[in-house]
Amino acid sequence: MTRAYWFVAIGLTAGLWGLSAWCYPGLPDSIPTHWNIHGQVDGHGGKATIFLMPAVTTGLLVLFAMLPTLSPAKFEVDSFRSTYLFILAAIVGLLAYIQVVILLTTYQEIGGGPRRVDMGRALLAGMFVFFGLMGNVMGKVRKNFYIGIRVPWTLSSDRVWNDTHRLAAWLMVAGSVVGLAVVASGAPLAIAFGVLMATVFVPVVYSFFHYKALERRGAL
């Protein structure tokens, strides 16, 4: 199964390079490179920036290949290798999705036609799908320095690490469902963004209070 995740990540990266190279000749010298939360363009750059995302995913492949060797004793990613590679495939999938949305909105802007793609909603929808996928495996992530909720309190205690990641798993899945519903309903994006932030920060706050409670009871 681990090979399948490599094939997915490498295949998506190759597809990104191919798609970007195919689109490159038809792009103007200056293209949109940044959008605000309302989906409005607020930054431009040279058309070569279209290759930035494929370069990032290529770098991720190299990094994820190296991290098992770089991991110190007792913090090895090999202890959850299948989950580790699933996360790689999910991250590359998210970046590939973002690249497609960027290309669609770029052609939308330079074409001057009707706005069929709402950049802000499209990106948040992709993020919530990604968080849902991550939530399904977050409870399987073992203590390491690279992936997961890596704060002092989780890294100091296996129990706090495991309890925090189990909570994060539930929050990510629930948050993805609620967030996608908010995005699809047309509600203000600030609400969806708040849901996203809650799924990130609540487990961090929980890890602190959980650690301190265990510390007071001498249970660490």
Distance separating alpha carbons of residues 63 and 44, to the nearest angstrom: 29
pLDDT level of residue 87 (50, 70, 90 thresholds): very high
For residue 149, pLDDT over 70 is answered with yes
pTM score, two decimals? Answer: 0.89
The tens digit of pLDDT for each residue in 26-77 reads 888 877 777 676 666 677 778 888 999 999 999 999 999 999 898 888 888 8
Residue 83 is encoded by which pair of tokens?
Answer: 């989950």
Strand intervals (E) in the chain: 30-35, 41-46
Ranges 108-112, 114-118, 201-205, most confident: 201-205
pLDDT computed for residue 175 by the predictor: 95
Least confident of 35-39, 105-109, 117-121, 129-133: 35-39
Q: Is the dihedral of CA 186, 188, 191, 197 positive or negative?
A: positive
Residue pair 175/199 in contact (Cβ under 8 Å)? The answer is: yes
Query: In Å, how far are 40, 100, 142 from 7, measured between CA atoms?
Result: 36, 20, 24
Q: What is the pLDDT of residue 111?
A: 67
Please check whether residue 139 is in contact with residue 169, taking contact to mean a CB–CB distance below 8 angstroms: yes
Q: Which of 25-39, 83-97, 197-211 has the lowest mean pLDDT?
A: 25-39
Residue 94 sits at the vertex; the CA angle it makes with 93 and 100, to the nearest 5 degrees, is 90
| 161 pLDDT above the threshold of 80 | yes
Task: Give the containing element (helix H, strand E) for 162.
Answer: helix 158-185
Banded pLDDT at 167 (limits 50, 70, 90): very high
Residues paired with residue 32 on neighbouring β-strands, in sequence order: 44
DSSP SS3 for 149: coil
Q: What's 67's DSSP letter?
A: H
Pair 169, 138: CB distance under 8 Å: yes
Instruction: Say if residues 94 and 127 touch (Cβ distance below 8 Å).
Output: yes
